[in-house]
């Protein structure tokens, strides 16, 4: 097959030009990002003065329209499907919203949805709720306080997203749900977290504020109240800041009891979960920071939440719980940010301001409801006034209707015949034939006096703000009487909380510690020491220090690299003579080729450390220079690095020390002659003069040496060369 000849005359393809539209970044943010951000703030994340986000409101209103307030439960899937007519964000998001509002989930003090089936628990992170096809729901009775005025023009209605039906912009709650139901949300550039309060306390506070604007809110609304209970650690100044500004934080802790050496935790902070607590406790057990715990498990069942902690023998449960409160979410911080939408604008308000806004909004709802009712009564009065005009001559009305040839002339003829308007004439014309009797008409006319009184009363209410607010007070009183619940969260004042330090929680008992030349460490209790035999050591190793301590003591290790490592004796497990012990370089995370030279138990008062160096110098350092305010584990520059260390001594009172050099000379001196240095790494003063090529080989206390004639090795002045060591005084020297 012949190849097709390329058309050389074909014009080259020209690509479309790239158009670069330069735009100022602030203009881009204003035109593109700001509408999106405001949509999230106003339409999704931040609750409004009725206490609901749009997703909550759409869901509850759908259930109300489905007649689920006074009927049997229906499958949750039915509710989710119907709600999509108002909330087109997907069935999963709608169902998650529904779950949180149910009695089964226990996320609210007063749930809005009466549920049947598994809806998970607010205090469990991993407990999954059942699918919507398995669970059943209906509106809880408290929703009658939300929808009682919904058909009385108390709130505005707007078209839904596809303009096929109307939905309310707010729900006319008869109580301040904004504070009763916990709510949180994250928008673009702002967030909201509103803690829940006890319904009865909120209503009583609102009533008190209506009656007295200067009412002390703390006297009737002491603190938040959460559905998961727990203990709120009350600090008056913290709570006042939250009430005043709408921002601040406070602490919640779990409730527990101890029986038969088992701690049972039955209420936890609202902001955490049982899984988060178990995970943190497990970490503490693995790292050896909760040695008092033998076992911990989740025993939550149908009867409610329960975490069980088995204790080891002799453990103080109070001290253990104080440690767990500090180290785990069993005590958690609740950060408040009372950010709500008022008139479509986000505002961070204090409690008083929120209640003032709610009172003003609810007053307007009652005013609109009253005006709606007034208009209905006026319409009814108008109709009955027309009816009263035919009372004396019903036959005339019948005759007018019968004598009228065309239907469209009936209404005009009635209007002319009785001097009534078109609306009244329509009402009269629509009366059934069976009702055209004096008895029926007289009964209708009996309503006239009552209607006039009702209209007068409603007009008086509309003219008086005080009367409008009295209605609110009456409704709040009824809500308290019907839905009051005792507080779940107990208030505990800070002064009532026992203070325990980490040292208090550490069991205190005597022990003996052994340190070997290779860096192995053992802590042995007196009982174990009495029953043990010979100390097990690594081949070629030897014991260099034995110290009597208590389990709460701090212990310091000075190394060949002039570092000091600080630890607690309690950090080490009780050991036995038959094991090698803990390897300190690994335990203390020392550097490569680093090992301990000297160990001491510090007393930060008058104690001193004496360091003797190979070059004949000696330095005295106060033990207080090793004290730190923080929990630092490693101190650099623990001693001088200018010459190798040949001896170190921890002294309470001045003692005599001996230096022996490589030339066979010994020098005895009293530590009182060594002035203390303010710096740990100071080189010290020359105590023993050395000829060229000689070094200090060892140092020891005079008491250890048992010298025959110690006066021979003493001198009146320092530095000195010392005296030749006699055979009867010679022996092996070691650093201790």
Token pair, residue 199, equals 């319904």
Which residues on adjacent β-strands are paired with residue 191?
186
DSSP classification of residue 494: G
Strands (E), 696-736: 696-701, 723-724
Residue 719 preceded by cis peptide, ω within 30: yes
b/e code 295-325 from CB counts within 10 Å (16+ = b): ebebebeeeebebebebeeebebebbbbbbb
Specify the residue for token string 């916990």. Answer: 182
What digits encode the pLDDT tens for the residues 234-269? 999 999 999 999 999 999 999 999 999 999 999 999
Q: In what helix (H) or strand (E) does residue 514 lie, and over which residues does it extend?
A: strand 510-516
CA 339 to chain centre: 17
Rounded CA separation 222/177 (Å): 17
Cα-flanking dihedrals φ and ψ of residue 532, to 5°? -90, 165
Query: Which pLDDT score is estimated for 309?
Result: 95
Q: Secondary structure of 57-95 in the HEC alphabet? A: HHHHHHHHHCCCCCCCCEEHHHHHHHHCCCCCCCHHHHH
Rounded CA separation 696/612 (Å): 9
Q: Using an 8 Å Cβ cutoff, are 296 and 282 in contact?
A: yes
Q: Using an 8 Å Cβ cutoff, are 246 and 350 in contact?
A: yes
Q: From the candidates 61, 129, 134, 427, give the one annotated as an active-site residue.
A: 134
Q: Using an 8 Å Cβ cutoff, are 480 and 200 in contact?
A: yes
b/e code 600-630 from CB counts within 10 Å (16+ = b): bbbeeeebbbbbbbbbbbbbbbbbebbeeee
First to last CA, the chain: 102
Query: Which pLDDT score is estimated for 144?
Result: 95
Query: Which pLDDT score is estimated for 440?
Result: 77
Residue 134 annotated as catalytic: yes
Can you list the domains of the chain with their CATH numbers? 53-169 (3.90.199.10), 214-353 (3.30.1360.40), 355-483 (1.10.268.10), 506-600 (no CATH), 602-736 (2.120.10.90)
Query: Which pLDDT score is estimated for 5?
Result: 44
DSSP classification of residue 619: E
Regions of the chain with pLDDT less than 50:
1-10, 732-736
């Amino acid at each position: 097959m012949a190849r097709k000849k390329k058309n050389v005359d074909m014009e080259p393809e020209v690509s479309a030009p790239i158009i670069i539209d330069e735009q100022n970044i602030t203009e881009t943010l204003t035109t593109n990002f700001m509408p999106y951000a405001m949509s999230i703030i106003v339409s999704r994340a931040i609750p409004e003065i009725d206490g609901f986000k749009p997703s909550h409101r759409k869901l509850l209103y759908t259930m109300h329209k489905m007649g689920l307030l006074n009927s049997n439960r229906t499958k949750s899937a039915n509710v989710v499907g119907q709600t999509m007519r108002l909330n087109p964000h997907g069935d999963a998001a709608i169902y998650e919203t529904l779950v949180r509002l149910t009695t089964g989930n226990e996320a609210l003090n007063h749930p809005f949805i009466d549920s049947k089936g598994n809806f998970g628990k607010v205090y469990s992170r991993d407990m999954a709720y059942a699918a919507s096809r398995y669970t059943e729901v209906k509106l809880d009775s408290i929703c009658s306080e939300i929808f009682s005025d919904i058909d009385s023009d108390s709130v505005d209605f707007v078209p839904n997203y596809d303009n096929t039906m109307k939905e309310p912009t707010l729900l006319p709650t008869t109580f301040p749900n904004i504070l009763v139901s916990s709510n949180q949300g994250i928008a673009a550039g702002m967030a909201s977290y509103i803690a829940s309060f006890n319904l009865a306390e909120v209503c009583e506070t609102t009533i008190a504020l209506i009656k007295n604007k200067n009412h002390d809110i703390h006297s009737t609304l002491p603190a938040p109240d959460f559905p998961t209970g727990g203990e709120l650690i009350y600090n008056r100044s913290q709570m006042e800041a939250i009430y005043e500004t709408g921002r601040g934080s406070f602490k919640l802790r779990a409730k527990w009891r101890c029986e038969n050496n088992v701690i049972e935790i039955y209420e936890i902070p609202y902001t955490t979960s049982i899984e988060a607590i178990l995970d943190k406790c497990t970490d503490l057990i693995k790292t050896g920071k909760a040695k008092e715990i033998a076992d911990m498990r989740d025993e939550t069942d149908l009867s409610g939440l329960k975490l069980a902690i088995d204790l080891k023998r002799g453990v103080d449960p109070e001290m253990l719980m104080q440690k767990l409160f500090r180290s785990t979410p069993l005590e958690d911080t609740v950060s408040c940010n009372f950010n709500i939408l008022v008139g479509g604008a986000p505002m961070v308000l204090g409690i008083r301001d929120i209640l003032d806004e709610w009172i003003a909004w609810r007053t307007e709802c009652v005013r609109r409801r009253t005006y709606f009712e007034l208009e209905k009564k006026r319409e009814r009065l108008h109709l009955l006034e027309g009816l009263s005009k035919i009372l004396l001559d019903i036959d005339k009305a019948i005759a007018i209707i019968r004598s009228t040839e065309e239907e469209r002339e009936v209404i005009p003829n009635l209007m002319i015949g009785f001097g009534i308007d078109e609306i009244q004439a329509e009402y009269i014309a629509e009366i059934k034939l069976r009702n055209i009797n004096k008895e029926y008409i007289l009964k209708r006319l009996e309503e006239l006096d009552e209607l006039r009184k009702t209209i007068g009363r409603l007009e008086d209410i509309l003219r008086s703000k005080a009367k409008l607010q009295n209605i609110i007070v009456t409704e709040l009183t009824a809500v308290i009487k019907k839905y009051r619940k005792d507080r779940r969260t107990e208030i505990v004042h800070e002064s009532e909380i026992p203070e325990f330090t980490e040292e208090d929680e550490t069991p205190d008992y005597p022990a003996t510690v052994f340190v070997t030349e290779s860096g192995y460490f053992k802590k042995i209790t007196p009982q174990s020491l009495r029953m043990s035999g010979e100390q097990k050591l690594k081949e070629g190793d030897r014991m260099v220090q034995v110290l009597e301590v208590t389990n709460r003591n701090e212990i310091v290790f000075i190394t060949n690299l002039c570092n000091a490592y600080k630890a607690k004796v309690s950090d080490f497990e009780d050991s036995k003579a038959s094991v090698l012990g803990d390897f300190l370089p690994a335990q203390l995370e020392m550097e490569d080729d680093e090992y301990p030279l000297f160990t001491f138990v510090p007393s930060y008062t008058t104690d001193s450390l004496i360091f003797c160096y190979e070059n004949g110098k000696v330095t005295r350092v106060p033990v207080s220079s090793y004290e730190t305010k923080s929990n630092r584990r490693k101190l650099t520059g623990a001693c001088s690095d200018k010459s190798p260390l040949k001896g170190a001594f921890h002294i309470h009172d001045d003692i005599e020390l001996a230096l022996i050099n490589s030339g066979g000379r010994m020098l005895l001196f009293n530590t009182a002659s060594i002035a203390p240095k303010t710096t740990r790494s100071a080189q010290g003063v020359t105590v023993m003069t050395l000829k060229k090529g000689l070094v200090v080989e060892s140092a020891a206390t005079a008491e250890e040496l048992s010298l025959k004639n110690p006066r021979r090795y003493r001198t009146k002045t320092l530095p000195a060369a010392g005296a030749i060591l006699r055979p009867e005084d010679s022996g092996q020297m070691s650093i201790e």
